[in-house]
Structure 1
């Protein structure tokens, strides 16, 4: 199940980033504090359940559910497909929770939604001793916790990677992908001098005004040694290091290193830009790896001609933003024992292998990244594992929805040229400080 990563989160303020930091901030409500000391409730009830998730665009999900349903005829899972757009998914899940509807049993939550649902008492705390906590990648565990208690099961992870035109790098005499922005720019200049590089730009990402811009901006800032929000939960974005990160994007658009079209790119538009031969390098998620291997697609100019590496940074390998999804049990759903059993089965290592092999979905089990057979099929796995292990959570602000909207507004203003980097960061610092003060 590949959920479209249009990840706009502004419909509802998301408390998620706090959980990504381990739930250590003491700025929650009294409900939050009671959650911190609570124990998992008894999950009773056996019978039919529903799985609420974004639209399945892979064609794989129903076959997985069929396997469960054949083995559990009295505990069948009904798929409830929500819209492909993540904003609308979140809105429907929140509405369902606020009305205490039992229409949804198991919820497929983006990692930045988990703690909002936990803090509001919309999902059940899960028994950690029934999940293989020691086999998960450490960063993905934090995304499923709120105040260090487990409220969801890690289901899919995500880390940004650099896609490179390996064929053109080879033609230009470049032996390996770049590890710094300066190396990437220098490599591009060599490639663009080739006949095959005529008309191309250097680098593309997701710079449209939506959640992907928050991801790309945060990655640039973190990869330059800066931070958007400090470990104390206070904004710290108006700094020289943060400016270096933002200026990587601003100057890239200004000098043509980044095509202006990238200001309208989300994940899929940027993938098509790379496939169409418009950029030498692309920042994107692992799900596109398998999609770009389709040699039957006449519009695809890169099949068999690309490789992946860690994101570059200012002075060395950069830092990805952490993505992914978790499965939770609705507080208001029926047959919660079945729901727990289903989640344990659905997120098992066996099924994680299926998702990886069929959809190049990033698994949550460290062992799958180290499997020689899987590495042969997906050479990027060691790179992806490193990306996830070194990834940074998105800014740790309780009112995450307001924060990401402010980031998108100011980052886009700077990248599009309507504000200077200095002014954008100054305004962003003030906006984030106001959001934190009012949380």
Structure 2
């Protein structure tokens, strides 16, 4: 599951505090976990029985195993998987439509970490008292922040994500390169050296996710952040019409022009880029931790098993900055059986279940202790740098109108990468658009 993926920086939000307060008061009487004609409930975690889990397509193949573990222990409170499209934007659209219809079809929502503000402000998800999540303090603090809106908890972090640089260690070694690149220029120099060797002839240099969808927002944000810029400043105001943002976007534009990024990468989402890398078509790939387990499979699905390694993302003058990704579990305001829903969420967020999940999928956990587990570090040697990546990551804008904001970012970045718009104009227009969407 992707998107991903968020957090610790406060942005300006629309004024909905009054309506949220009234709504919380109205919930005091409870409604056995279902919504009445008065609208959504917040905080009334009541009602027991079967529930559903709405999530993007499970590309890991392990989610149903996790649900089976719950269902075996709770035969009268089983969870049914409602699988949505693979594309994050399509997932969000279906969840929004379900909420606007006040439907109880989805009980628990597997949400990209940047959706919390929008869903909470619109009262589409239920506020969760922190004492209902006993292990909250054992999760990575950065991940917990993704689950909050106006300092109140509306979800529980389930998986985290930090962007990583996957690279063909065998090809770098054959070219006499002993360590992964730390800067964009070093990465391009490494490509030139590898492509000059017999084994590296014809291989593409680098790719990320550049199709016009949420992944492009992430890749654009990482380029800007890794050049020293920000999408929004510390006061939550748009900040993309800057030299730093221009440096980040121009780097991507020029890499497409020169072929450092193959032209077909303009159509890549996570899965397309993963398949290109594990089919041996790329030397470097920016992607999430889930790729590690799939690219290392020895069943014939990957041509590079045992031939790659993982490093931090490169940046303009040194190591780059990842966007914070991941998924949180939230309870629909219109769901029935919310008491079952919160118990299920705690089950899935437990150390045991998160450990079982990373062992099968390589998806980043939110439970802090797992990053220091010796057995896991032997199986997944990238865990230590991943933990640092997550802790130092920057969030995408945490705004109520996130859907409109990310659409604007995607449009501007895509037009620049497609050479329809010059980077200067793309960023100036984006600054104006974001100023109209992000208000105090």
Q: TM-score, normalised by structure 2?
A: 0.90
Deviation at residue 415 of structure 1 after TM alignment: 1.7
Distance (whole Å) between structure 1 residues aligned to residue 397 and residue 118 of structure 2: 15
Q: Which residue pairs with 1:25 in the alignment? A: 12
Q: Which residue pairs with 1:389 in the alignment? A: 391
Distance (whole Å) between structure 1 residues aligned to residue 89 and residue 11 of structure 2: 27
Distance (whole Å) between structure 1 residues aligned to residue 192 and residue 9 of structure 2: 43
Q: TM-score, normalised by structure 1?
A: 0.91
Deviation at residue 22 of structure 1 after TM alignment: 5.5
Does residue 259 of structure 1 match 2:262? yes
Q: Which residue pairs with 2:193 in the alignment? A: 190
Distance (whole Å) between structure 1 residues aligned to residue 77 and residue 398 of structure 2: 39
Deviation at residue 4 of structure 1 after TM alignment: 4.8
Name whichever of 354-363 and 182-191 sits farther off. Answer: 182-191
Distance (whole Å) between structure 1 residues aligned to residue 386 and residue 63 of structure 2: 23
Counterpart among 334, 337, 349 of residue 335 in structure 1:
337
Q: Which residue pairs with 2:33 in the alignment? A: none
Does residue 141 of structure 1 match 2:144? yes
Deviation at residue 36 of structure 1 after TM alignment: 11
Does residue 77 of structure 1 match 2:76? no
SS for the counterpart of 2:364 is coil
Aligned pair in 2 of structure 1 residues 179, 128: CA closer, same or farther (>3 Å)?
A: same
SS for the counterpart of 1:177 is coil
Distance (whole Å) between structure 1 residues aligned to residue 22 and residue 420 of structure 2: 44
Deviation at residue 144 of structure 1 after TM alignment: 0.5
SS for the counterpart of 2:166 is strand
Does residue 420 of structure 1 match 2:407? no
Distance (whole Å) between structure 2 residues aligned to residue 303 and residue 22 of structure 1: 38
Alpha-carbon displacement from aligned partner over 1:120-155 (angstroms, at most 9, x marks no partner): 222221121232222111111111001111111111
Distance (whole Å) between structure 1 residues aligned to residue 282 and residue 79 of structure 2: 43
Counterpart among 431, 435, 438 of residue 436 in structure 1:
438
Counterpart among 202, 208, 212 of residue 205 in structure 1:
208
Distance (whole Å) between structure 2 residues aligned to residue 252 and residue 237 of structure 1: 20
Which runs of structure 2 are paired with 1:145-184 in the superposition (5 Å)?
145-184=148-187
Name whichever of 157-166 and 179-188 sits farther off. Answer: 179-188
Alpha-carbon displacement from aligned partner over 1:271-303 (angstroms, at most 9, x marks no partner): 1221232221110111111111123326x3321
Q: Which residue pairs with 1:218 in the alignment? A: 221
Counterpart among 342, 351, 354 of residue 352 in structure 1:
354
Distance (whole Å) between structure 2 residues aligned to residue 55 and residue 207 of structure 1: 20
Aligned pair in 2 of structure 1 residues 219, 36: CA closer, same or farther (>3 Å)?
A: farther
Q: Is the 8 A contact 2:8 2:142 kept in 1?
A: no
- Flag structure 1 segments of 5+ consecutive residues without an equivalent: 8-15
Distance (whole Å) between structure 2 residues aligned to residue 253 and residue 96 of structure 1: 39
Distance (whole Å) between structure 2 residues aligned to residue 265 and residue 252 of structure 1: 15
SS for the counterpart of 2:54 is strand
Q: What CA RMSD, in Å, does the superposition of the two structures yield over aligned residues?
A: 2.2
Distance (whole Å) between structure 1 residues aligned to residue 94 and residue 216 of structure 2: 24
Q: Number of matched residues? A: 424
- Flag structure 2 segments of 5+ consecutive residues without an equivalent: 29-41
Which runs of structure 2 are paired with 1:272-291 in the superposition (5 Å)?
272-291=275-294
SS for the counterpart of 1:107 is strand
Counterpart among 6, 21, 32 of residue 34 in structure 1:
21
Distance (whole Å) between structure 1 residues aligned to residue 164 and residue 23 of structure 2: 35
